[in-house]
Amino acid sequence: MQEIPISHILFVSTALFFIGMYGLFTRRNMITMLMSIELILNSVNINFVVFNKYLYPEKLDGIFFTIFIIAIAAAEAAVAIAIIINLYRNHQSIDVKDAEEMKY
Amino acid sequence: MNITHVLFWFLSVLALFSALMVITSRNPVHSVLWLIVTFFAISGHYILLNAQFLAIVNIIVYAGAIMVLFLFVIMLMNLNKSTEPKKNRWLQWAGAIAGLCLLLVLVAALKDTEIKGQAAQVNEGEIGLIKNLGKELFSTYVVPFEISSILFLSAMVGAVVIGKASPNPSEGRA
């Protein structure tokens, strides 16, 4: 049985990363930007698992990195959503353009 | 062209298509639903890569918990209609071209890499099963495990403190 080359899987994760990057740059809705960040984190997870599987199949480091990334992403989403709710309460909007006074 | 290849191509196309739908659909609820499809496809990739526990964790934590949180917030803020305004078209094109150029460079770099041990088995071995993972997690990785528990505690406290209603009602509450 011939195998899937590692470059194919890496291409999938690279494409997912740039789709997430494009969403992060072009969307103005904070929830959608947060979803793009989740996409980016998932592409990184795929990379970790693939390299663990193909290069060091007897180790487990990549899988543990992925588990910790998932845990940190959960914490990050909770805190970010709390921030978004607070911002919505003050501005009645979650558009990043409406939060401009946070720059100064 | 065996079953592994068919599954791999199917899952890849599904993941990329639904990821594109996430960032192109105007309605945030549709974005969340497409993102759940993306997560299921990625979990399928994990199963093909023989990381079964990770696939289950991905579905439970991402598609189950985080996405429900997103949907809940979207419904709470009444965003379930197409509120995204039309943006600058040039900005969109610039973002797409820049991202595709970098993607092209990375793909070209990937194409030339020669990686040893490429012929690792994809569909066999038991190292991703939960028994080995548990043994390793509670011996080698016990310190990061405990640190992540502290992180969760602080994130929980932080989310409650930030999301709490402000005590001063004149601060522009709805």
User: Given this model, what pLDDT does residue B148 score?
Assistant: 92
Q: Evaluate whether A47 touches B46 at the Cβ level (below 8 Å).
A: no
How deeply is B142 buried, as exposed, middle or buried, from its count of CB atoms within 10 A (0-12, 13-18, 19+)? exposed
Amino acid at A47: N
Task: Render pLDDT for B11-20 as a digit per residue (tens, 0 to 9).
Answer: 999 999 999 9
Region of poorest pLDDT, from A2-6, A57-61, B83-87: B83-87
B144-149 contacts: CB < 8 A, separation 24 or more? B144/A64, B144/A68, B148/A68, B148/A71, B148/A72
Q: Would B157 be classed as within a structural domain?
A: yes
Can you read off the two tokens belonging to residue B73?
A: 């917030």
- Which range of residues forms the domain containing residue B139? 129-166
pLDDT higher at A53 or B170: A53
Judge if B119 and B48 occupy the same domain: yes
Confidence check: pLDDT of B166 > 70: no
Q: Is the same domain home to B26 and B96?
A: yes
In a domain? residue B173: no
Per-residue pLDDT band at B171 (split at 50, 70, 90) = low
Q: CA B10, B12, B16 angle in degrees (round to 5)?
A: 120
Q: Is B21 a domain residue? A: yes
Is B54 in the same domain as B74? yes
Residues B104 and B51 in one domain: yes
**Which of chain A's residues have a Cβ under 8 Å away from the Cβ of B92?**
26
Q: Same domain, yes or no, for B117 and B100? A: yes
Q: Does residue B95 lie within any of the structural domains?
A: yes
**Is residue B108 situated within a structural domain?**
yes
**Residues B68 and B95 both lie in one domain:** yes
- Percentage of chain A beyond pLDDT 70 is 97
My answer on whether B27 and B109 are in the same domain is yes
Return the pLDDT at B143: 92
Residues B61 and B141 reside in one and the same domain: no
- Could you say which of A19, A49, A88 has the minimum Cβ distance to residue B51? A49
In a domain, B85, yes or no: no
Same domain? B56 vs B102: yes
Q: Do B26 and B65 belong to one domain?
A: yes
CATH number at residue B30: 1.20.120.1200
What ipTM was assigned to the predicted interfaces of this complex? 0.89
For residues A28-44, give the mean pLDDT. 91
The verdict on residue B174 lying in a domain is no
Domain membership flag for residue B155: yes
pLDDT for the residue numbered B15: 93
Most confidently predicted of B23-27, B120-124, B162-166: B23-27
Number of folded domains that form chain B: 2
Do B98 and B60 share a domain, yes or no? Answer: yes
Give the whole-angstrom CA distance, residue B101 versus residue B111: 15
- The residue among B11, B30, B42, B112 with the most chain A CBs within 10 A of its CB, best to mutate, is B42
pLDDT at B172 over 50: no
Same domain, B103 and B162: no
Q: What is the pLDDT of residues A52-103, one digit of tens each?
A: 888 887 788 888 999 999 999 999 999 999 988 888 888 777 788 777 777 7
Q: Which residues of chain A are within 8 Å of residue B127 when distances are taken between CB atoms?
A: 57-58, 60
Report, as an integer, the average pLDDT of B35-49. 91
Compute the mean pLDDT over every residue in chain B, rounded to the nearest whole number: 81
Q: How far is CA A56 from CA A14, B43, B48, B52, B136, in A?
A: 21, 21, 16, 17, 15
